[in-house]
Structure 1
Amino acid sequence: VYQDRALGLPPLNRTLARRMMEQTKIYEALQGVRGREPVDLDALETLLVRFSQLVVEQPRVKEIDVNPLLARPGDDGLLALDARVVLHPYTKDDDELPTPAIRPYPRQYIGTHPMGDGVEITIRPIRPEDEPKLVTFHERLSERSVYLRYANLMKLEQRVAHERLARICFIDYDREMALVAERPVEEDDDQIIGVGRLTKQPGRNEAEFAMLVIDEYQGEGIGTELLRRLVEVGETEGLDRITADILQQNHAMQRVCEKLGFDLVQGDGREMVKAVKSLSG
């Protein structure tokens, strides 16, 4: 197969690595054709992710090329037959080295939090592969929770539409930060039980937050912890202030804001209250 290529910006995650593979002509053959066994696509996916991480973590790498890469069925089916690495000159200062076009996954914002029943949940930035978990998350929300969050009864099929969730999960961490609260489930993947989002406002050094916790875990401090961490993110990112528009009847969210030092003022409309917290000075 000639002139077969796919482009991606590092760092890749597993979802983006698989999409790159699917864009190539050779992908069909990798899955196995004419009775041949497929190669280990999960291993190839992992290789692409780690290769992209190498590029991001080693800024002095100017060019790196693995060619050819042998891919064959079996546990040890991936083998780099040749590779070439070009470094930036040692005379170039660190601050002169290029930086990635896409900000790497912000692992510094990963943490844990104990719940009242003793279960420890993970709070971390959202990832593109969280889309299926968010579908389940939205399926477990009551109409009241949906209304208090969106100020209207957005239908489930709208909330879980692929185009919408793809935008929510695949974000530019320089422009917004979304944290998910994840609770371990026996014999299954962890389930997302809360989501908090901080979105920078164009032309201003401030961000707007939004919060949503599934009904069965409301009132257990998850929203408070998510907002506390979003405030920490805002401080770390150098924002001047954080705001939110909250429905008048959403007293629980207003109490959480007051607990964390937000001022509540009358919003633009009668139905809304604006929460404001200054971070500068």
Structure 2
Amino acid sequence: MIKKAELLKITFLGTGTSQGIPVIGSKHPVCLSKNPKDKRLRVSVLISWDNYNFVIDCGPDFRQQMLQNPIPNLDGILFTHEHSDHTAGIDDIRPFFFRQGDIPIYADNQVIQALKKRFAYIFADINRYPGAPAVAIHEIKENTPFKIGNKVAIPIKALHNRLEVFGFRIDDFVYLTDVKSISKEEIAKLKDVNVLVVNALRLEAHHSHFNLEEALEFIAVVKPKKAYLTHISHLLGFHEEVEKSLPNNVHLAYDNLTINI
């Protein structure tokens, strides 16, 4: 039996697509909604257990997310891929760096190289700017589980159109975002999952994301006990209306939602 102290606490820091909701200047009804569940920061999730705190992705809303969901320490960031809405907040690890030292990051080589190009001052070896944060790089590879704290993370490869992206399985929790297709071999890694988080961008088909129909079909294949949809755009519809239309074991995630596994 798992002790309570070892249970995972999942906090959805952001559940929106690359522009967030509301979209700047949009008059779409969902963007004008007064329901807090219809307001979505860029997608990210915090995974906590014992005294560990790990974040998957670190987008441009990271500072705001950390102020809304304060944590005393950040033990690492797992990156799914290099797109800006998943990486642009890396400079805001500075308060953690000043208290803790180099912040561990976990990413594949393509993401690491993209981060080095965009944030050269963070990765510089010489002539470092005194106020810049620093990171400890842990390169992840396909089919190679890696340790985070006292747990093991299993990388799960998928395709975001033609771009490789990685999701992660930690215990019986799986997080996948920006997925359009995934192989049978990778789906096999999701056997007996308790909670699955997966992207569902909108109702209409999209070239690089699951729409709602595709996400529900994927969930039906994986058969998790519960599933939560994330990376949601305003075009999916109002939170309350969409939630009522979903199967009993599927829910729309929303910003600041916490679940325990």
TM-score, scaled relative to structure 1: 0.26
Query: Could you state the TM-score of these two structures normalised by the residue count of structure 2?
Result: 0.27
Larger Rg: 1
User: Structure with the greater relative contact order (CA < 8 A, sep ≥ 6): 1 or 2?
Assistant: 2
